[in-house]
Amino acid sequence: MASLRVLVLQSNRITSLKKLLFVLCLAWASSFGQQTTFKGNELYATVNSLKDFDFGFAYKHGLSNDWYLRFDVLNASFSNNKMENSTVEDPSGQVLNATEQRNSNYDLGVGIERRKEYNSRMEFLYGLSLLGGRYHQSTKAVALDDEVLTDIRLSNWSYGAGINLGVLVKVADNLLVGGELLPKYLRKNSKTEYVASNGISDQVQEISGDTFTFSLSDIRLSLVYRFRR
């Protein structure tokens, strides 16, 4: 009889705990629903320079009111410049007169960021991203004492991590203007080939190293479209 009473008491305690757990879950869900307002996903379009055809696209997937997954779908730049009074030196120490230079760059990234609302029209953001990219440069150069043309080809692969700090300003219902700073720490593997037109003095240099980078290309102004799924 005593053992039966103990079982009944234990059963009542378990039932009470289940009820308490259920009430706590409802309270947590209710508070979460009140604190979290999904604002929408975002598409970013960036043009840093029309002269160098420097542009980028990003997509940010809203997880909640504060957190977003960030996808830098493509950041790219292309340029072609004529060069005057510019010299370079090959690995053998020969001075070359550079005449033309072409540059191309592609970057991708994925990360997470958090938002802090300042008021109804302005938000601050900060986050971390994993990055990868490729840079290619081709320079046409001529030896100063002859007409041998040398094509200097630089290929650079990089990967690393970066932080993003920025602000969003609402200008219309679904339209915002964004500004971001994107300093990063990268591991770079570079290969430089010196290919002469006479086919005699081909040379290769390979360099690897870590570097912290922050330049004008890491300051982005974007037009942002916000939409709901």
Predicted local confidence at residue 25, as pLDDT: 47
Q: How many CB atoms lie within 10 A of CB 110?
A: 13
Predicted local confidence at residue 125, as pLDDT: 94
Contact 37, 67 (CB under 8 A): no
First to last CA, the chain: 61
Does an H or E element contain 135, and which? strand 122-143
Predicted local confidence at residue 95, as pLDDT: 79
Positions of the chain with pLDDT under 50: 2-10, 13-14, 17, 20-21, 23-36
- The CA distance from 65 to 211, in Å, is 35
- The CA distance from 201 to 1, in Å, is 102
Give the residue from 139, 136, 134 showing the smallest Cα distance to 195.
Answer: 139
DSSP 3-state of 10? helix
Phi, psi of 159 (to 5 degrees): -155, 155
Predicted local confidence at residue 20, as pLDDT: 43
Global pTM reads 0.73
* Count, residues in the chain: 229
DSSP 3-state of 24? helix
The pair of three-digit structure tokens given for residue 181, joined into one six-digit string: 């700073």
Cβ-Cβ contacts under 8 Å for 192 (sequence gap 6 or more): 152, 153, 154, 155, 204, 205, 206, 207
